[in-house]
Structure 1
Amino acid sequence: MFRRVKAAAPAPEDEAEDPARRRGMLLVLRETNYRRFALSQIVSLIGTWMQRVAQDWLVLSLSGGSPVALGAAAALQFLPILFLSLWAGVLADRVDIRRTLMALQTLMGLSALGLGLLVLTGTVQLWSVYLFCLVLGCLSALDAPIFEAYVVEMVGTENAGSAVALNSMNFNIARIIGPAVAGSAISWAGTGWVIIANAASYAAVVSALLMTDKHSLYRIPPAPRVPGMVQEGLRYVRGRPDLTALMVLVLTVSVFANFTASLAVAAVQIFTLGVGGYGYLSTMLAVGMLIGAAEAVRRGARGRPRLRVSFVCAAVLGSMEAVLGMMPTAWLFGLVLIPVGAGLTLFVTAAHSTIQLSVPPWVRGRVMGLYMMVLMGGTPVGAPLSGWLAQTLGARAPFLGGGAVVALVTLLLALLLVRRNISRTVSSPEDDYADDRVHLHSS
């Protein structure tokens, strides 16, 4: 049995004097492959958010405004993550990441094209929307861990933290632009053309992947194919109390701070807003998330992530979500969505960086597959739960109850880690866990 020795945390003065950390964002953007890919991702993500708004509005229209139908559509889109993410993590550790990502992006574009054509031809029905949600969910479940592995291949492990924060910023820039554009585009051209626009946006990512300079990639040798690779990844996480606690907290946030269905329901049932009002609420949430992403970039240049940051952000998120549920007017509701969005992004980015940067390369794909499973896999539970709570107890119930649960679970997990004397600073995989693979195979 091997013993883990915690590496000493860098002194504050060392962090201040390290120009690489202070210029982490600039170092990442110097990578031509990443810079090109990041720009293409913004285009694609804007299209994705446009389709999400259009799809939600389409489901509400076809179902007569049913929040349960909206929750079911979200659940079908995210349900495959529960079953496929771990296996996708194994693929990420074994396949040619760039080619696999290119194939998946192409298939997702074709899926959006199929749904858009059904809407334009007037043949779309609720069950067909559900079917395309399921297909897109399967492709997204395979795509997410492979995407995370490709980011590391583009920028290297040293700059992965800054890349994670920049990806989060791109995501939230798109989350601001996409719903705002979709609200006007749906009124002007209809949901079908908005979904077709998303299908076209995938071409930007595929083009960036085709233009990749393969000689500039930080190649990670594929893991050898051995029996029990999924179980090996699970054993690794189980042996890390810090990672286990973070996974539980991420799952809690994913289920109980889930705005996939509850935001649209709040717009319609609490404030009787139209599609423009729903776009306004989505935009205010995205503004907060962009603020959180900008702060995450600033923090990402300061050194290793800390467990404390993740737990503080989760506590703030839970508290503000409960406050959100008490807001009496739409404009106050929108204003409170800003700190809610900031807390959500800071938590997810801190947890993401903590996990990715503390895991050795040979198991990173599988651990990130588990992370994506708990992050996105909570939606199939959270979205229908939000719809049921809204229909049974009122549209404010998902916000009030969800915020209380997030705050309580954060407190309980924090007390557990303090009791077990877990360090607040996450250790480097190279320093602290280089012998874990030997230990896992020998246990």
Structure 2
Amino acid sequence: MTTDTTTDSQTTDNPPAVSSAKLAPRRLTQGFKALHNYNFRLFWWSQIVSLSGSWMQTTAQSWLVLQITGSPLSLGLVTTVQFLPVTLLALYGGVLADRLRKQRAILFTQSAAMIQAFVFGALVATDSIQLWHIYILAAIQGIISAIDNPTRQAFVVEMVGREELPNAIALNSMAFNTARILGPSLAGIIIDQIGIALTLIINAVTFIPVIWALPRMDTLALHTPPRPQRGNPTRQIVQGLAYAWRTPAILSIFIVVGIIGTFGYNFSVTLPLLADFVLHTSASGFGMLTAFLGIGSLISAFVTAYAKQVSLRRMLWGASGFSIFFGLVALSQVYVLSLGLLVAMGFCGIIFAVTSNSLLQLLSPDDLRGRLMSVHVLLFMGSTPLGGFLIGVLSDVFGVSAALFVCATACMVGVIVATIYVRRHDALDTRR
């Protein structure tokens, strides 16, 4: 487009060179357009700090369990205990997410998580920690997550609106994976040089930016949907599930998320086992495995932020790539090769995760979004107790590499089943 200051010889077909120069930085900033929103910007920056701490605790907890027990099964059981509350309570957390003012609910859950981290750190610092303590603390963290995760995911659209939602979800993934690089890397160094206790205390401190940011949001700028009528929570859960069942595009998302959530996204179990039993590396080496997975995920999130459309086809391609590279990671016995494969695995995994999340939120009615997102959380995180337990048992019986290859195969089978389903229901054109 030309402006009124062009000469007569300039036409709309030949804009001045300066216009193209101005468009270039504008295109670059398109991938970060959701950050123009004040509320989302506050939330995003504070999440990078908080999530980095959370990844530090995840790394420290896994390494602590292996130090105490030396058992893959014990690590799988701790993961099961941590995510079992999500399995049992996530759907009710979705009902709460639809009913409550999300800003206040997240402030409560983040404060509770900070207290849990301080207690965990204090027990380790005083040499009082025992395995049963870790089980209890993991269960408490799971209860908090059952409410926090569907609420936080449904809160994104309230901050930015539907138009910028895919970009905001991609940027959230960028924050998550930046934290996945920083957190485990720092945790590995701190654990090797100082100890696990400091890692846990640092995590507790990282919740402060979120707790500071939430009350400072502009509540008048939030896109708050009408709250559903109060009623029987179980009946409201059934209402959300019934909507998903009769909507092929949403049901196909849930099929893939359920399978990959159960057998693929168990990194708190798979990476420590790879580090200790297959690649035979140290705590810092374990942290690097998680960091390289995060590097691939971060690159993918950056690319996805510039995507103009999301589709089921893209989600299925991402899930397929994740399954293939997961299988190759399971077979690798070479540390450097494993790092490269984890980059590719993380890249494909985020294409799948961001696309599925964006599609689900765009396809969800406003009054059902919290409940439908709680199903997503249930399938992605709540399936971890089953997946973590299976990996622990299979690793004890057949070895870590064989167990992970079986899981990768199950992921690929799930993608094939979902692809057949969406083709039969002609749901591949659900682009937004």
TM-score with structure 1 setting the length: 0.89
Given candidates 254, 259, 278, the residue that maps to 1:270 is 278
- Cα distance in structure 1, aligned partners of 2:229 and 2:28: 37
Pairing 1:412–2:417 present: yes
- Cα distance in structure 2, aligned partners of 1:28 and 1:209: 17
Indicate the residue corresponding to 1:159 in structure 2: 164
- Cα distance in structure 2, aligned partners of 1:412 and 1:103: 40
Answer whether contact 2:85 2:143 (CA < 8 A) is retained: yes
- Cα distance in structure 2, aligned partners of 1:81 and 1:30: 33
- Cα distance in structure 2, aligned partners of 1:387 and 1:409: 21
Answer whether contact 1:20 1:27 (CA < 8 A) is retained: no
Amino acid at match of 1:47: G
- Cα distance in structure 2, aligned partners of 1:93 and 1:25: 29
Q: What is the percentage of aligned positions where both structures have the same residue? A: 33
Answer whether contact 2:85 2:146 (CA < 8 A) is retained: yes
Amino acid at match of 1:246: I
**Considering only CA atoms, is the larger Rg found in Structure 1 or Structure 2?**
2
Amino acid at match of 1:322: G
Q: Partner of 1:392: helix, strand, or coil?
A: helix
What do residues 373-418 of structure 1 show as CA deviations (whole Å, max 9, x unaligned)? 1011121111111111211111102331112111122112212221
- Cα distance in structure 2, aligned partners of 1:208 and 1:168: 19
Give the deviation of 1:26 after TM superposition. 3.7
What do residues 157-192 of structure 1 show as CA deviations (whole Å, max 9, x unaligned)? 221111111000100000001011001111222111
**Unaligned residue ranges in structure 1 (runs of 5+):** 1-16, 428-443
Indicate the residue corresponding to 2:11 in structure 1: none
Answer whether contact 1:113 1:195 (CA < 8 A) is retained: yes
Given candidates 317, 321, 329, the residue that maps to 1:316 is 321
TM-score with structure 2 setting the length: 0.91
Indicate the residue corresponding to 2:215 in structure 1: 210
Q: Partner of 1:288: helix, strand, or coil?
A: helix
Paired residues, number: 406
Pairing 1:246–2:246 present: no
Amino acid at match of 2:57: Q
Q: Quote the RMSD (CA, aligned, Å).
A: 1.7
- Cα distance in structure 2, aligned partners of 1:343 and 1:332: 17
Indicate the residue corresponding to 1:199 in structure 2: 204
Answer whether contact 1:358 1:426 (CA < 8 A) is retained: no
Pairing 1:107–2:115 present: no
- Cα distance in structure 1, aligned partners of 2:80 and 2:144: 15
Answer whether contact 1:24 1:159 (CA < 8 A) is retained: no
- Cα distance in structure 2, aligned partners of 1:27 and 1:330: 38
Give the deviation of 1:426 after TM superposition. 3.9
Give the deviation of 1:421 after TM superposition. 2.3
- Cα distance in structure 2, aligned partners of 1:391 and 1:423: 40
What do residues 353-386 of structure 1 show as CA deviations (whole Å, max 9, x unaligned)? 1101111101111101111110111211111111
Are residues 263 and 423 of structure 1, via their aligned partners in 2, closer, same or farther at CA, if it must alter by over 3 Å? Answer: closer
Q: Partner of 2:223: helix, strand, or coil?
A: coil
Pairing 1:29–2:39 present: no
Answer whether contact 2:32 2:305 (CA < 8 A) is retained: no
Pairing 1:41–2:47 present: yes
Indicate the residue corresponding to 2:7 in structure 1: none
Indicate the residue corresponding to 1:52 in structure 2: 58
Pairing 1:347–2:352 present: yes
- Cα distance in structure 1, aligned partners of 2:322 and 2:399: 21
Given candidates 234, 238, 246, the residue that maps to 1:231 is 238
Answer whether contact 1:33 1:213 (CA < 8 A) is retained: yes
Indicate the residue corresponding to 2:12 in structure 1: none
Q: Partner of 2:267: helix, strand, or coil?
A: coil
Are residues 175 and 349 of structure 1, via their aligned partners in 2, closer, same or farther at CA, if it must alter by over 3 Å? Answer: same
Give the deviation of 1:278 after TM superposition. 0.7
Give the deviation of 1:350 after TM superposition. 0.7
Answer whether contact 2:292 2:342 (CA < 8 A) is retained: yes
- Cα distance in structure 1, aligned partners of 2:139 and 2:354: 27
Answer whether contact 1:74 1:383 (CA < 8 A) is retained: yes
Pairing 1:61–2:70 present: no
Give the deviation of 1:20 after TM superposition. 11
- Cα distance in structure 2, aligned partners of 1:423 and 1:60: 44
What do residues 201-247 of structure 1 show as CA deviations (whole Å, max 9, x unaligned)? 11110100021111221222211113321111111101111211211
Greater alpha carbon shift after TM alignment, 108-117 vs 415-424? 415-424
Indicate the residue corresponding to 2:92 in structure 1: 87
Amino acid at match of 1:292: S
- Cα distance in structure 1, aligned partners of 2:338 and 2:352: 21
Pairing 1:183–2:154 present: no
Pairing 1:356–2:361 present: yes
Indicate the residue corresponding to 1:292 in structure 2: 300
Answer whether contact 2:279 2:335 (CA < 8 A) is retained: yes
Give the deviation of 1:58 after TM superposition. 0.9
- Cα distance in structure 1, aligned partners of 2:117 and 2:174: 24
Amino acid at match of 1:142: I
Q: Partner of 1:187: helix, strand, or coil?
A: helix
Q: Partner of 1:285: helix, strand, or coil?
A: helix
